[in-house]
Structure 1
Amino acid sequence: MYRQPPRNPLARQTPVTPVRDMGYTLEHLETSPGARKLELQRRRYGHGDGGGSPLPYAELRAASAFSFLDGASQPEDLVARAAALDLPAVALIDRNGVYGAPRFYKAAREAGIKALVGVEVVLEETVACGGRQGTSSRGKNTEGSGAPWRGTGSGDQVRDVDSRGTTRFVGDRPPGSSELDSRETGGTSLCLPSSTGVSSAPESRLTLLVASRQGYRNLCRLLTAAARDRPKGEAAVDWSTLEEHAAGLHCLTGGAEGPVARALGRGGLDAAERTIGRLAGLFDGRLHVELQRHRGRDEEWRNQALAELGRRLRLPLVATNGVRYAKRRDKALYDVLSCIRLHTDLDAAGRRLDAHRERHLKSAREMAELFADLPQAVAASAALAERLDFTLADLGYRFPDYPLPPGETMSSYLREVTWNEARARFRPLTARAQAQIGKELDMIDKLDLAGYFLIVWDVIQFCKREQIMVQGRGSAANSAVCYALSITAVDPVKMELLFERFLSEERGEWPDVDLDLPSGDQREKVIQYVYGRYGPRGAAMTANVITYRDRSAAREVAKALGYSPAQVDRLAKQFGRWSYDKSRGDPKVLARELAAAGFDAADRRILLFATLWQRIQNLPRHLGQHSGGMIIAAGRLDEVVPLEPAAMENRIVVQWDKDDCADLGIIKIDLLGLGMLQALEEAIPLIRAHEGVDVDLAHLPVDDEKTYAMLRAADTVGVFQVESRAQMASLPRNAPTSFYDLVIQVAIIRPGPIVGGMVNPYFERRRGRQEVAYAHSCLEPILARTLGVVLFQEQILRIAMDAAGFTGGQAEELRRAMGFKRSAERMGELEENLRRGMAARGITGRAQEEIVRAITSFALYGFPESHAASFALIAYASAYLKAHHPTAFLIALLNAWPMGFYHPATLVKDAQRHGVEARPIDVNHSRWECSWDSDGAASGAARIGLRYARGLQREAARSIVEAREAGPFTSADDLARRAALSGEALANLADIGALASLGLSRRAAQWQVAAASRPTGPLLREAAAGGRGGPLPEMTPFEETLADYAGAGLTTGRHPVSYLRADLRRHRVLPAATLPRVAAGSRVRIAGSVIVRQRPGTAKGMLFVTLEDETGMAQAIVTPQQLQEHRTTLVGSAGLVVEGILERRDGSLSIKAEKFWPLVELTSAPSHDFR
């Protein structure tokens, strides 16, 4: 038990001095034997600022931005500042979670700082205000639980004297404070607000620090329990939960927001003593009275009262700074985040914000000066940090075992299953395939991964039983074992793929298997199967940290600075448009952006906005769930990482993202939703039912000329992976005629080949305009299929193996070292080995330099050949369906949307140009989903589903479909009565022509639904029933088209540009379909709806705009300078007229834009904007 050095606390009495005027200095520290002991400890454990401070100090309470709006610094920034201050240890304690702990631990390990694990846990209200002795908030009697505690029960005011002889009052109130105690409040749990901003929220918090692995397990379970059955973001714990999980944890009583301080403000020392005594019972010998000094007006009397309680109960005092940001200058950003959290602005926040800039990391010297009267509190921080013995290296995670048949081991059963499956998958099972499988099984045994492969295989078996389409992607497609087990669909032996890209002894991490599943219900079945198989605490989704980006950052910062809603919208739109981030910090660009939004760039508040807008970028905003990453564990996953309910029903997520889990050795299986697989899965039964054709996607003809002709013509709207602007531009240049050509096409329009300068050389060689050459003859077998150009990661590995004698594992290590997270030192070592190996094989001089350059420049961006092959299979299947079964393909695409590159409006128009009949939404014919409508059409038609009627909920659509089972609707009144629709839903259906089958024009339908949706008198009722028309003028065709876009986002009628064609022709504007007949270099004008804006990072700031008219699509290229000068027109216009020079390259057309005009009549056509 901690005991204070003996001294008389009442030695002198002088007037109370405010904290900010005290001027603590090191000369006032005691030089007792105890202090000399602390000096020896300091020398062993370190000190805080490198300036000879006689006291050690470790910050035990530092919150990061992962407290989600209650911290302003990234974990790495806290570590960097702690290292600069020479702090030996720091505890990261974020609100209700360990969200930032992995990043903090990783950074601290590299900086040589001890990363302590902790949490700032929110307490239920009865705990926060002291509760009643012996009763938890859940009604459980805990009287007498825990160790005994000592106290005098006195509520008298006590004076204490510091080392300078300054008197401070301690007790149940400061002099002059209101006479409010528990008698006057009737014993209710009233918590008085503090003058410090952090405790202005109506919640109370305790700091818990992990001392051991047992403590960490308890912390994870406590946080899981706190979040269970509570709304997102409202986790809290009660007394019984604290008691159940207290072992292995140390507790700090909290600063102004702690339950002891709250009880002190509510009922004086008596109430505070009851609360602290109860905590002492829960945390026997592990409770520490926390003191903070931030120069707040009401702070010092509370600190002295807490110190008095510590003395009474013989509890150790510990000083913290309650850190919320790394540096003093970060206070402004913290205030903005606080305003976002409190839903207010800086002008209105008042005392809810900290008055002083004191909650930053401080050195040992600064803390010693602040607590010159209580040096033991400073020293206790470092002493406690030494006692805390847990790090995230000791998680104790273990992957679950697969349930085996009797007499089998993991290895033997995997071998049995693999060989059985291989005989069916490999046709024939060649000697080369057998050798590869045997080699892989041996490596799997060596790495003890047999159970992992069996568990993935088990998921595949479930998909087969449930007839769910599934396909593995990524580096797993390099594995013959994965192919044998039906995890992947690409034969790696036939394609000569490299297993070491997937798994090797040198790789040093778990294999990464990504399974693509149909989006929606089918994928959810698989996710729920995994949850059910491993239990609610054995499996969970990985998190996805949602961060502030341009638009959200602009909106929130502008609100916090007090701008009006209209001004907030203008700033969010202007600063949320890509391209500004390319030149942020440029004063000229900033002034232009602000002027475009209607602001004066010299205004101090707008300059503050710009500064804070940049600084809030990439800070955590909230926690989401990863698109498909699942982790599973043997035993309880909630003892490895805290779990919490996701916003989506029946989903549980961990508090870490996929990279955090990977860094800590936690295995992830990705169950990814792929919209195209959903579309393919839906299209097959449609084709079978309505066309009488059985399409087997696994055995499509590999040389279908109609499919390849469509690909060569870049007629690929809706086709997986090859529908983007860049893919369309390159498809005619590549002119694919085989499946491997499509593999290359999928891979070549990627950052790696583009940045590495590989794209044009490949196409030039493909066209025979450039000679195929190799740096050395040993490269020809590796690069022959890609015409001497490095396109795939596997080629990098093979070059290192064949040219320098690397093993497969060493080659993969080389690729990874030169990849995304480059280590200059490790790169240097491996490059030296690479050169030495090549020299030993006679490769020197220019050839060696070219090989080294190819590896070092490409490794950062390379694309796995196995991944490209997996995606090419799906791309070919989707292209085949588009070419041969366009109606079913359109229906499936619309039902799987959102997916792909284009909006449904473009998908419909493209299908119509290919002869597909698309029919509009209709209350007597449409289902919720889009459907096959064969009535009156020789080859069927695609009926647009009710899901596209904006504002119509699924339940309302179900009511429509169920009601018409008794017969078709005959009038608007009949529809309103039988389907029980709201007036708003009826009005929107009328607007988009969905009541046409009732014999009503749109305006007549609007009139009738207005009467049907509200009570009417006899006169209006008779008028409505007397005819099918109404007094409203009929819509023009153009108005009907615009109403379709406004109410459904698409139209099955005429393209909006077609109505303007006569005027456009007079202005010499060409239809898109005529451009192939125009000579290259001609000046042309085109016009259309803007359907895509794209500004890829590899395009040197160029903006690509795709325009669509009634005949097709055209591409315009805009320079960065033009974008800056015409931003409002280019970004804000739904339709554009573009004039420029027509460019042609191997059949690919584009317009080098020079002039732009808005096509103002097009106000509702949707576009898809990409960065």
Structure 2
Amino acid sequence: GNDKVAQIITFGTMAARAAVRDVGRALGIPYAQVDTIAKMIPWEPNITIAKALKMESRLKDLMKSDADVKKLIETASSLEGLARHASTHAAGIVLSRKPLNDYVPLQKTAEGEICTQYAMAELEELGLLKMDFLGLRTLTVISDALKIIKHTRGEQVDINKIPLDDKKVYKMLSEGSCAGVFQLESEGMRDLVKRLIPENIEDITALLALYRPGPLGSGMIEDFINRKKGIVKIKYPHPRLESILKETYGVIVYQEQVMKIASELAGFTLGQADILRKAMGKKQKGVMEKQRELFIKGAQKNNIQKNIAAEISDLIAYFAGYGFNKSHSVSYAFISYQTAYLKTHYTVEYMASLLTSIMGNNDKVALYIKECRNMSIEILPPDINQSLVNFTVVGGKAIRFGLAAVKNVGEKAIKSIIDERKKNSYFASFLDFCQRVDLRVVNKRVIESLIKCGAFDSIGVRRAQLLAVLDVTLKSGQEYQKSKGNGQTSIFDLFEKNIFDENNRNYQDKLPDILEFSKNELLAMEKEMLGLYISYHPLNDHKEKINKIVTSTSIELANFSDRSKVVLAGVINNFKRKNTKNGSLMAFVTLEDLEGTVEIIVFPKVYEKCGEIIKKDEIIITAGYLDVAEGKTKVIAEKITLLEKYKENKMPTPKTKEKNHNIAEELHLEINTEENESNLLGKLKDLFYSYPGKSQVVFHFKDKGKTII
């Protein structure tokens, strides 16, 4: 019953950087100064201010030289680790035989759900049963895709019986075409997939387990890939390890492998092995040390020499922080493969389902629309005679926007339109539409939105004409419905229009002979109603020129480090002006390019020079530097110019063109891995990201006489 089940509370605590930022805001220290101090704290797990002061000498020096900074750091240190807010565990549910309030205090969340006041660790100590129930949007995407496939192709696909060795699927993944593939679509993961070249479900499982901060930072992934490709020879400290570690090329990747090693080599029971697994996961050094002694003793009983047992134990300890739960990784890998399979063999149906699942996220919709176009799938705007609620497959080769994607068009209005169309065929004209739909729910605002997004374009009339006659046609439709409700018959009721007549479909519409809106006005309407450009993007007209100016797109910013200099081009999607404490104006601008959006922060000094050009739908060039904080990337503007003005004033002179012509298309660097310092690659990465350009950089790694490109 409801009284025996509850969600679990979690407490968000003040981490080192967050504490510095919060205290800095409270003390009124300028944002830029606080940001600089916060970024001196190394970005690593479980970092504290005390650790940061030992690791970062600049932070210690600032404390000594600046009293305000000293106060900031000391205050932040005293607040660090305190609970900042309470929220609900993402998947945890606690269960009991008796009513839960017999054991733990309960409370209501903001959403009205029942939640414990004790966190997960305390509940485990009480002996209550805790289970994780994880809901995945992707499962709905797969289910919806299968329904679309059945509807469009008449095929009943059993997703649990698809072949797991489909070469076309692995080829697609190895090419990095992973957009829309569960867990494999991030930029970093795509790069890893291309390097690894997965050939089976086990490779995907390992990928998901390895793509985490620990393995990424330890060189474990490179070791795994090199072993898989035969660059590094696979060695086992003991022959009995081969059967356990063969699938991961001799690398300990999973916690289950550690349990099996402990069981088979040291004679651990499954219960003892599970203690070792938990100690690994929670990094309990004391328990790990005790387990090491037991492991060595147990291994010696199984005729394994003490030094080899100690070596294996050290190997386990090394991977302790990185070992991942295999059962979790396998279940995710199957979902990854299923989505990749659907994308490979039922591309249009899968992409329609995927677009429906993220309909409210314009950045994601734009990303997947771009992917559709890369795969030669046509994206069509909403249409009153074809669109359903969600994205729809049209003719097997195109995807039509659903009516639910149109701003101001609600569920009841969509139902009225679709039900009437199913009952009495297509809408022959604008007046026909206004006479047949329920105007109580399909009101003026709804119809205006449908006109603006192009949903009436298929009836062969201009949007300007429809908006001009909207009021009078709507009134005519209301009068028609009123008279019909009173039992009166109009002359039009004498003629049945069950056939969609291509020649006479507009015979009822009396439309003024006026010009259509300009291309830019039509695009602005489309953007207003759908949240993104569908038929055309304003930047397409300037694509070639923009490519010569910019150093990055919005989506590529994730590859750059903090404070990297960048030049971006885009349309001003939105902006917000704000008064600073001293009364100066600044602005927060949402800039949209062909890849996505990024926030531009325009501080007062820059705003003074360019404030008048910050207007919605303007195409601008922004030069500035990146502000990367807590995983979010923003651009601090140093200069903003209209694209037109930039082209006039900043186009390269003949001399500059000649100079640029001589820049090499490729830069080849030879690096001796045995002689060079360990952090050389990190330094090179920072250098290249700080000075981006158009030349490709190719690394040649020399290792023991071999050269690897």
What TM-score, normalized by structure 2, do the two folds share? 0.64
Offset, 1:812 = 2.2
Residue from 808, 817, 820 that aligns with 2:282 = 820
In the aligned structure 2, how far is the partner of 1:797 from the partner of 1:1108? Answer: 53
C-alpha distance 998-945 of structure 1, shift in aligned 2 (>3 A): same
Q: Are the aligned partners of 1:538 and 1:634 in contact in 2 as well (CA < 8 Å)?
A: yes
Query: For residue 742 of structure 1, what is the aligned residue in structure 2?
Result: 204
Root-mean-square deviation over aligned CA pairs: 5.2
Residue from 937, 943, 946 that aligns with 2:403 = 946
Residue from 327, 351, 358 that aligns with 1:890 = 351
C-alpha distance 731-829 of structure 1, shift in aligned 2 (>3 A): same
Q: Are the aligned partners of 1:717 and 1:902 in contact in 2 as well (CA < 8 Å)?
A: no
Where does 1:109-128 land on structure 2 (aligned, <5 Å)? Answer: none
Offset, 1:704 = 1.5
The answer to whether structure 1 residue 1132 and structure 2 residue 635 are counterparts is yes
In the aligned structure 1, how far is the partner of 2:15 from the partner of 2:447? Answer: 38
Residue from 868, 879, 882 that aligns with 2:329 = 868
C-alpha distance 922-754 of structure 1, shift in aligned 2 (>3 A): same
Tell me the secondary structure at the aligned position of residue 390 of structure 2: coil
Offset, 1:839 = 4.1
The answer to whether structure 1 residue 1058 and structure 2 residue 544 are counterparts is no
Offset, 1:633 = 1.9
In the aligned structure 2, how far is the partner of 1:994 from the partner of 1:797? Answer: 60
Offset, 1:589 = 8.8
Query: For residue 907 of structure 1, what is the aligned residue in structure 2?
Result: 368
Tell me the secondary structure at the aligned position of residue 2 of structure 2: coil
The answer to whether structure 1 residue 540 and structure 2 residue 6 are counterparts is yes
AA at the equivalent of 1:860: G
In the aligned structure 1, how far is the partner of 2:41 from the partner of 2:147? Answer: 47
Larger radius of gyration between Structure 1 and Structure 2 = 1
In the aligned structure 2, how far is the partner of 1:746 from the partner of 1:860? Answer: 16
Offset, 1:988 = 5.4
In the aligned structure 1, how far is the partner of 2:408 from the partner of 2:319? Answer: 49
Q: Are the aligned partners of 2:9 and 2:86 in contact in 1 as well (CA < 8 Å)?
A: yes
In the aligned structure 2, how far is the partner of 1:1011 from the partner of 1:960? Answer: 20
Q: Are the aligned partners of 2:300 and 2:306 in contact in 1 as well (CA < 8 Å)?
A: no
In the aligned structure 1, how far is the partner of 2:41 from the partner of 2:429? Answer: 55
In the aligned structure 2, how far is the partner of 1:889 from the partner of 1:800? Answer: 44
Residue from 691, 694, 712 that aligns with 2:174 = 712
Residue from 229, 248, 251 that aligns with 1:786 = 248
Offset, 1:631 = 2.3
In the aligned structure 2, how far is the partner of 1:582 from the partner of 1:717? Answer: 28
Offset, 1:886 = 1.1
Query: For residue 855 of structure 1, what is the aligned residue in structure 2?
Result: 316
The answer to whether structure 1 residue 996 and structure 2 residue 453 are counterparts is no
AA at the equivalent of 1:735: I
Offset, 1:893 = 1.2
In the aligned structure 1, how far is the partner of 2:402 from the partner of 2:565? Answer: 32
In the aligned structure 2, how far is the partner of 1:1007 from the partner of 1:579? Answer: 60
Q: Percent identity?
A: 26
Query: For residue 98 of structure 2, what is the aligned residue in structure 1?
Result: 635
The answer to whether structure 1 residue 729 and structure 2 residue 196 are counterparts is no
The answer to whether structure 1 residue 804 and structure 2 residue 269 are counterparts is no
List runs of 5+ in structure 1 lacking aligned partners: 1-534, 594-600, 1015-1024, 1070-1084, 1115-1124, 1158-1171
Where does 1:40-51 land on structure 2 (aligned, <5 Å)? Answer: none
C-alpha distance 677-751 of structure 1, shift in aligned 2 (>3 A): same
In the aligned structure 2, how far is the partner of 1:644 from the partner of 1:800? Answer: 43
AA at the equivalent of 1:909: K
Residue from 370, 391, 413 that aligns with 1:930 = 391
The answer to whether structure 1 residue 1088 and structure 2 residue 553 are counterparts is yes
List runs of 5+ in structure 2 lacking aligned partners: 476-508, 571-591, 597-623, 644-662, 671-684, 694-709
In the aligned structure 1, how far is the partner of 2:315 from the partner of 2:565? Answer: 29
The answer to whether structure 1 residue 1035 and structure 2 residue 498 are counterparts is no
C-alpha distance 571-633 of structure 1, shift in aligned 2 (>3 A): farther
Q: Are the aligned partners of 1:1042 and 1:1056 in contact in 2 as well (CA < 8 Å)?
A: no
Tell me the secondary structure at the aligned position of residue 656 of structure 1: coil
C-alpha distance 861-928 of structure 1, shift in aligned 2 (>3 A): same
Deviation track 1:687-713 (CA, whole Å, cap 9, x = no partner) reads 011111111111102222211211121
Query: For residue 920 of structure 1, what is the aligned residue in structure 2?
Result: 381
In the aligned structure 1, how far is the partner of 2:240 from the partner of 2:362? Answer: 41
Deviation track 1:572-607 (CA, whole Å, cap 9, x = no partner) reads 99699999773987899999x9xxxxxxx9896x99
In the aligned structure 1, how far is the partner of 2:362 from the partner of 2:223? Answer: 27
The answer to whether structure 1 residue 684 and structure 2 residue 146 are counterparts is yes
C-alpha distance 717-753 of structure 1, shift in aligned 2 (>3 A): same
Offset, 1:1026 = 7.0
Where does 1:960-999 land on structure 2 (aligned, <5 Å)? Answer: 961=418, 968=427, 970-971=429-430, 974=434, 978=439, 980=441, 989=450, 991-997=452-458, 999=460
Where does 1:1157-1168 land on structure 2 (aligned, <5 Å)? Answer: none
Q: Are the aligned partners of 2:296 and 2:306 in contact in 1 as well (CA < 8 Å)?
A: no
Tell me the secondary structure at the aligned position of residue 1093 of structure 1: helix
Offset, 1:863 = 1.1
Deviation track 1:939-976 (CA, whole Å, cap 9, x = no partner) reads 15322223433565545555655676676495499499
AA at the equivalent of 1:668: K
Tell me the secondary structure at the aligned position of residue 541 of structure 1: strand
C-alpha distance 994-646 of structure 1, shift in aligned 2 (>3 A): farther
AA at the equivalent of 1:810: Q
Q: Are the aligned partners of 1:801 and 1:807 in contact in 2 as well (CA < 8 Å)?
A: yes
AA at the equivalent of 1:626: H
In the aligned structure 1, how far is the partner of 2:373 from the partner of 2:37? Answer: 34
Tell me the secondary structure at the aligned position of residue 184 of structure 2: coil
C-alpha distance 900-1049 of structure 1, shift in aligned 2 (>3 A): closer
Deviation track 1:1120-1153 (CA, whole Å, cap 9, x = no partner) reads xxxxx92259722899x9x9978999xxxx9953
In the aligned structure 2, how far is the partner of 1:1144 from the partner of 1:1104? Answer: 23
Query: For residue 668 of structure 1, what is the aligned residue in structure 2?
Result: 130
Higher helix content, 1 or 2: 2
Query: For residue 621 of structure 2, what is the aligned residue in structure 1?
Result: none
Deviation track 1:825-881 (CA, whole Å, cap 9, x = no partner) reads 333222222233344455457644532222112122211222222111111111110
AA at the equivalent of 1:745: L
In the aligned structure 1, how far is the partner of 2:510 from the partner of 2:127? Answer: 75
Q: Are the aligned partners of 1:1003 and 1:1034 in contact in 2 as well (CA < 8 Å)?
A: no
Q: Are the aligned partners of 1:538 and 1:636 in contact in 2 as well (CA < 8 Å)?
A: yes
Q: Are the aligned partners of 1:643 and 1:652 in contact in 2 as well (CA < 8 Å)?
A: yes
Where does 1:173-192 land on structure 2 (aligned, <5 Å)? Answer: none
Query: For residue 290 of structure 2, what is the aligned residue in structure 1?
Result: 829
Tell me the secondary structure at the aligned position of residue 799 of structure 1: helix
Query: For residue 877 of structure 1, what is the aligned residue in structure 2?
Result: 338
Where does 1:193-342 land on structure 2 (aligned, <5 Å)? Answer: none
Q: Are the aligned partners of 1:748 and 1:754 in contact in 2 as well (CA < 8 Å)?
A: yes
AA at the equivalent of 1:836: K
Deviation track 1:539-579 (CA, whole Å, cap 9, x = no partner) reads 2222344566899989987886789xxx9xx7899699999
Where does 1:549-588 land on structure 2 (aligned, <5 Å)? Answer: 582=43
C-alpha distance 901-764 of structure 1, shift in aligned 2 (>3 A): farther
Offset, 1:1090 = 2.2
Where does 1:408-419 land on structure 2 (aligned, <5 Å)? Answer: none
Q: Are the aligned partners of 1:554 and 1:572 in contact in 2 as well (CA < 8 Å)?
A: no
C-alpha distance 829-549 of structure 1, shift in aligned 2 (>3 A): closer
Aligned length: 554
